[in-house]
Amino acid sequence: MLKRLNTYLREMFPVPKQIVVSTILFFEIYFLVVFLSDVRDFYVGIPEIVGCITIFVFFLTLRIADDFKDYKHDKRLFAHRPLPSGRVYKKDLVVLLVLANITALVLNIIYMNNFLFYVVFMGFALLMSVWFFARDKIQKNLLLALVTHNPVAVIMNFYIISFACIKYDLPLWSLNNVLIALTLYWPSLIWEITRKTRAPEDETEYVTYSSLFGYKKVMRFVLLIITFDVITSAKIMYELWTPGVVAVVAAYVWFVVACLKFMKNPKVFKIVSRIEIYELITEVPVIMIQIALILRWIV
C-alpha cells in the first residue's frame, strides 16, 4: 500500500510542493492580519505549525475527494491517472484520508484556539465531498458546482484569520480582514474558471465554461473578477507598503492585456497559465514585504 500511495502522491499531490504552498498561504494571511492590525509583539509557535498542517490536509482531502467524485469520468478521459488506471486502490486513499484528517482533528483540538472555525471549515469540505447530498443536480451543472464548492476558499481564509484574531485579541469582522479573505480568494476563483476555458477547436466531451457560455463571455466575467481583485489588493498593499500598489496595478494591466489577446485569438496560449503568472507577480511582493517587516520588527 505504501508503494501505491507513494505513486499517487508523486503524480497527483507532490508533498514537498504542497507543504511549501500550504505554509506560504497560511503565513501570508496570518501576517497580513498581524501587520495590518499593527501587532508588534507577534510570535510563532506550535499552533502556527498545526495551522499549516491543517491547510495541507485540506488540500490533500480536496485532491482525493475530487478523484473519488470524478472516478467514472476519469476512467474515460484520464485513464492514465493512478486511481482510474488501478495503480492505486480506493481503499488506499481512504486509509490516507482518514489518518490525515484524524491527525489534523486531534492537533486542532489540542493546539488551536479556533476549533469552531475548524469544524465549519472541514465540515464544509466534507459536504463538498458528498456533493451536498445533491450529486445528481450539482455534478452535471458546472456553474452550480462552482457556486457550491469554490467558496470553501473563503472559509479556509477565515479559518486562518480567526486564529490570528483570537491569538492577538483582534476584531474578526473588520474591513481589513474581509479584504484579506477576498483578496486571497479571487485568484483561486479565476484559476478555477480559466483552467476550464479553451479555444473552440480544443473542446472535447469534457464540460468547460467556454463550451457552455463561449470563451469570450467567460473572459468578460474573468475581467470583472480581476477588477474586484485589483481593488481589494491595492487597498491592502496601500496600507502594507504604499509603493507596492504600482506592482498590483501593473500586474492587473498585464493580465487584462493577456485576456484581450486570448479573446482575439484563443489559440495563442492557455489563459490559465497567465493567471498563474499574475498570482506570482502579485503574491511575491506581498511575501517579500512581509519578510522585510518581520525582520525589521524583530530587530
The string of pLDDT tens digits covering residues 106-151 is 999 999 999 999 999 999 998 988 888 888 888 888 899 999 999 9
Query: What is the pLDDT averaged over residues 222-232?
Result: 95
What does the block give as the cell for 129? 465531498
**Domain identity same for 168 and 221:** no
**Domain identity same for 194 and 148:** no
Task: Kindly give the interhelix angle for 215-240 and 186-194, rounded to the nearest 10 degrees.
Answer: 160
**Domain identity same for 212 and 161:** no
**Domain identity same for 132 and 56:** yes
**Domain identity same for 195 and 77:** no
**Domain identity same for 50 and 136:** yes
User: Residue 134 belongs to what domain range?
Assistant: 1-172
CB atoms within 10 A of CB 242: 9
pLDDT value, residue 79? 83
298 has pLDDT over 80: no
Contact 5, 94 (CB under 8 A): no
**Domain identity same for 55 and 147:** yes
Question: pLDDT for 1-52, tens place per residue?
Answer: 889 999 999 999 999 999 999 999 999 999 999 999 999 889 999 999 999 9
pLDDT value, residue 297? 79
**Domain identity same for 115 and 237:** no
Name the domain count of the chain.
2
- Mean pLDDT is highest, among 134-148, 153-167, 193-207, 241-255, for 153-167
**Domain identity same for 162 and 240:** no
**Domain identity same for 110 and 147:** yes
**Domain identity same for 298 and 190:** yes
Residue 299: pLDDT band by 50, 70, 90 thresholds?
A: low
The pTM of the full predicted model, rounded to 2 decimals, is 0.94
Q: State the Cα–Cα distance between residues 189 and 28, nearest whole angstrom.
A: 18
